Amino acid sequence: MNNSSRTSGGALVRFERLEKSFGQRSVLRGIDLSIEPGQFVAVVGRSGSGKSTLLRLLCGLEQPSAGLLLVLDASGADARSGVRVVFQEPRLLPWQSVLDNVCIGPQKPDRERGLRVLDSVGLSDRVHEYPGVLSGGQRQRVALARALMHQPSVMLLDEPFGALDALTRIEAQRLVEQLWLEHRFTALLVTHDVSEAVLLADRVLLIDQGRIAEQFEVNVPRAERRGSAELAKIAASVLDRIFDASSSNAFQTPESVPPTLISDTKAVPAGT
């Protein structure tokens, strides 16, 4: 484990002409992207656009077919060992207690830190239980704690709120934001929920057909974001752009529009 990557603060993430194909099928076609340390970036796009592949490349579950992928700490050293993931499913080991799940890894478990991290996600009273008895939102908080355990330099969030009910989702979004403000890791959130993307991110990337189709800066102060009209406007323009992009490629992407994309337009102004 690289020591410098464990100090607090995020890592720099850079993709250069990154490509990924599975056999004949090209999924990512030349991604150029730089994410500053500590920035919160959301990636939106329709299913099959390649956004999840981007995340899987970053955490080493896939290898790029061409191009460069860098994760660098403040001293310029490779910080890929500090990349942590929260998946859409909690993916907890059912046979280990909540605390043991958080302490997973080849290193000797630091149980005291595990307890502190669980406390920071509000689960200090469930540490010795099995994941099977927790609710969906609680399991996802355990997964968050597990990712926080080793001072991540980059936190990858792969639709982590997708399976949660509406109220639990708001709670979980707030928790992620608060933890990010506290730890200042670099965050990459993959989501198909545009309102969620603009709510949490500094910058929203739209991926379409394996390319970054557009980037949107979100400059609304975080404290004023929920229910902000300006935020709703940004969300609307992101959605417009998604539909533009997909209507021009209508024949290449036959999938139907995910229903969440439509309902989100209404959800943003109403979601106070």
Partner 1 sequence: MTTPKEPGAPRSLRAFLPWIAPLGVVLLWQLASQLGLLPGNLMPAPLAIAGACVEALRHQQLLLHLGVSAGRATAGTLIGTSIGLTLGLITGLSRPLQLVLDGPLQMIRAVPALALVPLVILWFGLGEMAKIFIVVITVIFPVYLNTFHGVRSVDPQLIEMARVYDLRGFSLYRQVILPGAMPSILVGLRFALGMSWLVIIVAETLGASSGLGYLAATAREFMQMDMLVLTIVLWALLGKGADLLARRIERRLLPWQPAGQRLSVE
Binding site for partner 1 (CB under 8 A): 59-61, 81, 83-85, 87, 89, 91, 93-96, 104-106, 129-130, 132-133, 146
| Choice between 84 and 241, CB closer to partner 1 | 84
**What letter represents residue 243's amino acid?**
F
Which residues are within 8 A (CB) of 266 and not within 5 positions of it... i.e. 6 or more apart? none
72: enclosing H helix or E strand: strand 66-72
Q: Tokens representing 176?
A: 């992620």
CA 256 to chain CA centroid, Å, is 24
| Choice between 109 and 269, CB closer to partner 1 | 109
- Residues 149, 38: Cα–Cα separation, whole Å: 17
| Choice between 146 and 203, CB closer to partner 1 | 146
In the complex, least distance from residue 166 CB atom to partner 1, rounded to whole angstroms: 24
Q: Please answer whether residues 94 and 102 qualify as being in contact, where contact means their C-beta atoms are separated by less than 8 angstroms.
A: no
What's the angle, vertex CA 16, arms to CA 15 and CA 18, rounded to 5?
A: 80
In the complex, least distance from residue 211 CB atom to partner 1, rounded to whole angstroms: 26
Q: Which of 163, 106, 96 is nearest to 127 (CA)?
A: 96
Number of H helices, E strands in the chain: 8, 9
| Choice between 86 and 261, CB closer to partner 1 | 86
In the complex, least distance from residue 58 CB atom to partner 1, rounded to whole angstroms: 10
| Choice between 36 and 129, CB closer to partner 1 | 129
In the complex, least distance from residue 125 CB atom to partner 1, rounded to whole angstroms: 12
In the complex, least distance from residue 187 CB atom to partner 1, rounded to whole angstroms: 16
